[in-house]
């Protein structure tokens, strides 16, 4: 029996994880849940999954929940940073599924590792901001970081325990997002509503915008570097608009293995929680014959975020954390209608290019750099609006 906590249970990945738990009640028990502001959905989740501890962002929502729990009163309700960290280290769980969006997932993930929990990692920003620190701690505490992100699950499945020395390169597939064929002129007129329509996946707002800028793939390149301990020169990105092949591994003998399936996150979540067993969940197989699997080079000029991520990854140290923080601020500003779509990578590049990375940092140093990058990016958003 897997005993899990979910950080971000009310989001896209969190809800999907609970659906997977529904399919395997004898295999997965949900002991603790952390959410942000969606107290109504969290209340429903309490009634259905009967966790022992829950947490919400604001204390007023925690009070509301305590008031509404009725016959579920024995559930402990916490709030804020303290509550999130308590869910991350809740005694009795063996695995924490990290499905918060953004670098907010970093600190609870580190606490979970220090408490000896395995990490089923959807929150890629954790490894982007602090890959070296987090993977070092995981080794030190003897816990696994299990990929949930579809591409990394695909790579993990293709590797299947193979020595990383036999890998020639990892090929991450990218859908290309909704603007793959937009002209530079069209790119200037992209609205939040347009960016929130991913061609293949139903996801939260931030990652959906990241997919549209190709920053999602950039974050995934850095995530792959840390998950699989490979050099950036061995990680490539190819556009595959159908999102049927979730990624590939080319081995030194020239053989290429790919993992395929319908675009449904239930599959990588289920595999992360129940591996090495392959079990029949609710995910349908592909409809054969599968036709028209196509591949293209990413356009690095129209989508500069991808190159920025390689640059940040290669610079190392605090640079990926700075890139990630600036991107979070710029994406939020775009979604709030404050800046245009093409300003997102402009802001990220300006913040990155004003930063001299520091190597081998502590959590405190990374969080400090993250805050400073956010302030700088917010200032650039204001300047951009005043133009
Ligand atoms: N969606 C997908 O298919 C995929 C997502 N990922 C990654 O998984 C992560 C989650 O993505 P996704 O599910 O789409 O995002 P969503 O925006 O749908 O969900 C985010 C979740 O985090 C919660 N949350 C936000 N801030 C806090 C906080 N400070 N404390 C506690 N909880 C918080 C939200 O709560 P609330 O809603 O209650 O405010 C919500 O439950 C991201 O890192 C993303 O890159 C990776 C691969 C695929
Ligand atoms: C489902 C998942 O893993 C997402 O990260 C997805 O890959 C996003 O699609 P893009 O390929 O468009 O970035
Ligand atoms: Mn992905």
Task: Write down the pLDDT at residue 360.
Answer: 85
Task: Write down the pLDDT at residue 26.
Answer: 96
Task: Write down the pLDDT at residue 185.
Answer: 93
Which of 43, 58, 87, 100 for a ligand 1 pocket mutation test, highest count of atoms within 8 Å of Cβ? Answer: 100
Look at residue 116 and tell me whether its pLDDT is greater than 90.
yes
Task: Write down the pLDDT at residue 315.
Answer: 98
Question: Is 206 within any annotated ligand binding site?
Answer: no
Ligand 2 binding pocket includes 211 (Cβ within 6 Å): yes
What is the 211 CA–ligand 3 centroid distance (Å)?
A: 9
Instruction: Enter the pTM of the model.
Output: 0.98
Q: Could you tell me which residues come within 8 angstroms of residue 386 by beta carbon, excluding any fewer than 6 positions away? A: none
Task: Write down the pLDDT at residue 294.
Answer: 98
Minimum CA distance residue for ligand 2 atom 3: 150
Task: Write down the pLDDT at residue 313.
Answer: 98
Ligand 1 binding pocket includes 264 (Cβ within 6 Å): no
Question: Is 123 within any annotated ligand binding site?
Answer: yes
Ligand 2 binding pocket includes 204 (Cβ within 6 Å): no
Look at residue 97 and tell me whether its pLDDT is greater than 90.
yes
pLDDT band at 386 (very low <50, low <70, confident <90, very high): confident
- Cα separation, 109 vs 126, in Å, equals 8
Ligand 2 atom nearest to CA at 208: 8
Percentage of residues of the chain with pLDDT beyond 90: 98
pLDDT band at 103 (very low <50, low <70, confident <90, very high): very high
Ligand 2 binding pocket includes 79 (Cβ within 6 Å): no
Look at residue 387 and tell me whether its pLDDT is greater than 90.
no
Question: Is 4 within any annotated ligand binding site?
Answer: no
What is the 149 CA–ligand 3 centroid distance (Å)?
A: 5
What is the 173 CA–ligand 2 centroid distance (Å)?
A: 8
Question: Is 160 within any annotated ligand binding site?
Answer: no
Look at residue 265 and tell me whether its pLDDT is greater than 90.
yes
pLDDT band at 304 (very low <50, low <70, confident <90, very high): very high
Task: Write down the pLDDT at residue 282.
Answer: 80
pLDDT in tens, 15-71: 999 999 999 999 999 999 999 999 999 999 999 999 999 999 999 999 999 999 999
**Which CATH number describes the domain made up of 2-147?**
3.40.50.720
- Neighbouring C-beta atoms of residue 378, cutoff 10 Å: 17
- Cα separation, 171 vs 369, in Å, equals 31
Minimum CA distance residue for ligand 1 atom 30: 36
pLDDT band at 292 (very low <50, low <70, confident <90, very high): very high
Ligand (nearest to CA of 87)? 1
Ligand 2 atom nearest to CA at 150: 3
- pLDDT mean over 317-326: 98
What is the 145 CA–ligand 3 centroid distance (Å)?
A: 16
What is the 151 CA–ligand 3 centroid distance (Å)?
A: 5
From the number of C-beta atoms within 10 Å of its C-beta (0-12, 13-18, 19+), residue 203 rates as buried
Distance between terminal CA atoms of the chain? 57
ipTM value, please give it: 0.99
Which of 148, 197, 211 for a ligand 2 pocket mutation test, highest count of atoms within 8 Å of Cβ? Answer: 211
Minimum CA distance residue for ligand 1 atom 36: 36
Ligand (nearest to CA of 197)? 2
Rg (CA), the chain: 20
Tell me the pairing of strands 145-147 and 235-239.
unpaired
- Neighbouring C-beta atoms of residue 5, cutoff 10 Å: 29
Which protein residues have a CB closer than 5 Å to ligand 3 (ion)?
Answer: 149-151
CA distances from 382 to 284, 324, 337, 338, 343 (A): 47, 19, 12, 8, 12
Minimum CA distance residue for ligand 2 atom 2: 150
Domain ranges of the chain: 2-147
Question: Is 275 within any annotated ligand binding site?
Answer: no
């Amino acid at each position: 029996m897997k005993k899990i906590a979910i950080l971000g249970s009310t989001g896209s990945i969190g809800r999907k994880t609970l659906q997977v738990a529904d399919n395997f009640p004898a295999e997965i028990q949900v002991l603790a849940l952390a959410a942000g502001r969606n107290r109504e959905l969290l209340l429903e989740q309490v009634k259905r999954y009967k966790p022992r501890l829950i947490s919400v962002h604001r204390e007023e929502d925690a009070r509301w929940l305590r008031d509404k729990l009725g016959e579920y009163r024995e559930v402990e309700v916490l709030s804020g940073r303290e509550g999130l960290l308590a869910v991350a280290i809740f005694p009795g769980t063996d695995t924490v599924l990290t499905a918060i969006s953004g670098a907010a997932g970093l600190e609870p993930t580190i606490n979970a590792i220090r408490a000896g929990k395995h990490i089923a990692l959807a929150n890629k920003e954790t490894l982007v901001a602090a890959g070296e620190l987090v993977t070092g701690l995981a080794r030190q505490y003897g816990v696994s970081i299990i990929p949930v992100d579809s591409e990394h699950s695909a790579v993990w499945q293709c590797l299947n325990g193979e020595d990383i020395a036999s890998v020639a390169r990892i090929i991450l597939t990218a859908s290309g997002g909704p603007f793959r064929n937009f002209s530079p002129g069209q790119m200037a007129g992209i609205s939040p509503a347009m960016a929130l329509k991913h061609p293949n996946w139903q996801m939260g707002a931030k990652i959906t915008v990241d997919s549209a800028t190709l920053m999602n793939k950039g974050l995934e390149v850095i995530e792959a570097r840390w998950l699989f301990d490979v050099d950036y020169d061995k990680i490539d990105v190819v556009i595959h608009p159908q999102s049927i092949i979730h990624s590939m591994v080319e081995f030194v003998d020239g053989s290429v293995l790919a993992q395929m399936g319908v675009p449904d996150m239930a599959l990588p979540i289920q595999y992360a929680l129940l591996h090495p067993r392959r079990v029949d969940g609710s995910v349908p197989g592909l409809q054969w014959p599968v036709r028209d699997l196509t591949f293209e080079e990413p356009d690095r000029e129209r989508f500069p975020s991808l190159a920025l991520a390689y640059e940040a990854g290669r610079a190392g140290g605090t640079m990926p954390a700075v890139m990630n923080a600036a991107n979070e601020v710029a994406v939020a500003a775009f979604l709030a209608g404050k800046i245009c779509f093409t300003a997102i990578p402009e802001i990220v590049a300006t913040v990155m290019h004003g930063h001299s990375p520091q190597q081998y940092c502590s959590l405190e140093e990374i969080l400090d750099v993250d805050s400073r990058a956010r302030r700088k990016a917010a200032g650039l958003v204001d300047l951009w609006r005043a133009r």
